[in-house]
Amino acid sequence: MKGSMKKLVVLVIIATIVTFISAAMAKDVKDKYWGKNHCKAIHGEYAATSVVSCNAYKKDDGTFTGTSISTQLAIYTFNGDGTGTVQGKFVMIGITPAPGESSYDFWWDFTYEVADDGKITMDVVPGTGEFKIGNFVVYSYTGAVAPESGWLSADHKTITIGIETVGNTEITLYDGNIRNVKCNISRVLIRVGE
């Protein structure tokens, strides 16, 4: 019995030591991998390609005004402090009510957060965001913009984001009319440079 008890005590001590070492190593790996400030894990420029499909409605009475599909090529600049800016080109094909094509330059400011598990959420800064042809502003973000979320890769070089549920984005057209736009968005961002 004495020998069995000694073995049991040794086994419990070993299990306790392994548990503490594993926890310390996991914390060290997490801190080394993500850092203490997760937003600093993302900094610099990321090239992005996006696919966006939207339905638009008049804000005042909810009348359906059209459907479009577009692609976006952009550069997202992350400042490492939870803020950033995006600039790029937006190419759209209107499907309804009448077919049409258009191309715009765009920009907006954004904020972002990175969670312990690598999930990233991004929000457009209210009052920023314009879609232009030359100096002519075709439309701008003037109200709420649906938030986006996704995942940051382990090496911080790739971000995949989109909209988890269809959200409402408010835009104001060049003629002052306001539209509520409901979109499905998928983006891939890849770090450029070091």
Decide if pLDDT at 72 tops 50: yes
The reported pLDDT for the residue numbered 33 is: 44
**Peptide bond preceding 126 in cis form (omega within 30 of 0):** no
Decide if pLDDT at 50 tops 90: yes
Q: Please state, rounded to an integer, the average pLDDT across all residues of the chain.
A: 82
Decide if pLDDT at 10 tops 90: no
DSSP H/E element including 164 = none
Decide if pLDDT at 27 tops 80: no
Confidence of residue 5 (pLDDT cuts 50, 70, 90): low
Q: Provide the 10 A C-beta neighbour count for residue 99.
A: 8
Helix (H, G, I), strand (E, B) or coil at 154: coil
pTM for the full model? 0.77
The reported pLDDT for the residue numbered 2 is: 61
